[in-house]
Amino acid sequence: MFGYEFMREAFIASTFIAITAGLVGVFVVSRNMSFLSHTLSEIGFAGASFGILIGISPLAGMIIFTLVSSIAVGSLSTESSRREASISAISSLFIGLGILFLSLSSESSSYATNILFGSIVGISSKEVNQLMILALFVIFVFIIFYKPLAFDSFDHIGARAAGLKTRLLSIAFLITLALSVSIGAQIVGSLLVFVLLTLPGATAKYVVHTVPKLIMVSVGLSLSGVWLGLYLAFVTNWPVTFFISVFEVIAYFLGLSYKNWKLNH
C-alpha cells in the first residue's frame, strides 16, 4: 500500500488532520459547538467553490470563508441562546453562495464531489506540506492557550468569574476551529469533517475524566479512524469517509454503553 505515493501522502496528511481534529474536537464538544462545526464544514464547501471560481486553491478559499464566518458568528452571538439562530443565518447565506460559485465555475461536478465527500487520491505533496503547517499552527495555538481555554471550555461561568478574557479566547478558538475544518475537509470532505471534530471528543467524555486524558483518547480514536479508513478504502476501493464514519459511530456507541454500564455497576 505504501508503494503508492498518493497513499503515503494521504497517510501523512490524515495523521496531521486526525491529531488536529481529535484535539480541537474535545473543546468543540465541551463548548457545545457541534452544530457550529457542522455549519463551518458547509461554509468550507462554499469557500472551496469560491477558490475554484476565482482560480485560487480550494483550501485557501475554505480558510478564508471559514475564518470570516466563524469570527462573524463569534461576534454576533455573545449569548449562547442567540448563537444557533446566527449560525443558521450565516450558513444559509454561505451554502447559497457555494452553490452559485460552483455553478459559475467551469470545473466538473466531480470536483464538487471531492470537496463534499473527500478523496484520498486528490492530495499533492505541496498540499500535504500546507496541511502540516496549518495543523502545527493549530497545535501551537492550543499549547499556548491550553490552560485558559480549558477553563473557559469546561467551566465558562467560572472562567468569567475568575476574570478570564473569555471573548478573546472564544475568537482564538473559533479561528483554530475554522482552520481545523479546512484541514480536515481535504481528506474526509467538507460534509463529514464534523465527524472527526465531534465524535472522538464526544466518545472520550464517556470514558475518561481529565482534560489531558480526554485529548489523548480523542486523538487516539481520531487517528485509529482515519488510518483504518484509509487502509480499508485502499483495499476495497470504497469511500474513505464511509469507513471513518462507521468506525467513529461504533466507538461512540461503545463509549456510551460503557458509561451506562459503569453507572449501573
Partner 1 sequence: MIEVKNLTKRFGKQLVFENLNFKINDGDFISLIGPNGSGKTTLVKIMMGLEKKTSGELKIDKQTIGYVPQFRNIDLDYPLDIEQFVRLNLKFTLSPKKRCEDNEQIKTILEKTKLTEIKKRPLGLASGGEKQKAYLAQSLLNDPRILILDESTASLDVEVKMQLMDLVKELNEKYNLTVIFITHDYELTKKYTSRALFFKNKTIEEVNVSDVSEDMFEMRG
* Contacting residues toward partner 1, per CB under 8 A: 30, 146-148, 150-151, 154-163, 204-206, 208-211, 214, 259, 263
Nearer residue to partner 1 within complex by CB, 9 or 248: 248
Q: Rounded to the nearest whole angstrom, what is the least distance from the CB of residue 206 to partner 1 in the complex? A: 7
Residue with Cβ nearer partner 1 (63 or 199): 199
The nearer residue to partner 1, 8 or 160, going by C-beta atoms, is 160
Listing DSSP states for 106-118 in one string gives ---HHHHHHHHH-
DSSP codes joined into one string, 174-224 = HHHHHHHHHHHHHHH-TTTHHHHHHHHHHHHHHH--SHHHHHHHHHHHHHH
If phi > 0 it is left, if psi is from -120 to 50 it is alpha, else beta; for residue 124 that is beta
Smallest distance from the beta carbon of 18 to partner 1, in angstroms? Answer: 21
The residue among 55 and 163 lying less far from partner 1, judged by its C-beta, is 163
Q: Which is nearer to partner 1, 55 or 157 (CB)?
A: 157
Supply the minimum distance, in Å, between the C-beta of residue 135 and partner 1: 22
Smallest distance from partner 1 to CB 258, Å? 13
Closest distance of CB 248 from partner 1, Å: 18
Q: Least distance (Å) from partner 1 to the CB of residue 179? A: 22
**Rounded Cα distance, 227 and 244, in Å:** 9
CA distances from 16 to 60, 65, 119, 152 (A): 18, 21, 16, 25
Q: Which is nearer to partner 1, 96 or 158 (CB)?
A: 158
Please identify which residue in the block is written with the cell numbers 465541551: 30
CA 227 to the chain's CA centroid: 16
Neighbours of 88 (CB within 10 A): 12
Q: Which three cell numbers stand for residue 71?
A: 469570527
Encode burial over 203-214: b for 16+ CB neighbours within 10 A, e otherwise: bbbbbeeebeeb
Backbone dihedral region for residue 211 (phi beyond 0: left; psi -120 to 50: alpha; all else: beta): alpha
Contacts of 6 (CB under 8 A, 6+ apart): 120, 121, 123
Smaller CB distance to partner 1: residue 90 or 169? Answer: 169
Minimal distance, residue 148 CB to partner 1, in Å: 8
Neighbours of 260 (CB within 10 A): 11
Q: Measured from the CB of residue 137, what is the shortest distance to partner 1 in angstroms?
A: 19
Q: Which is nearer to partner 1, 32 or 129 (CB)?
A: 32
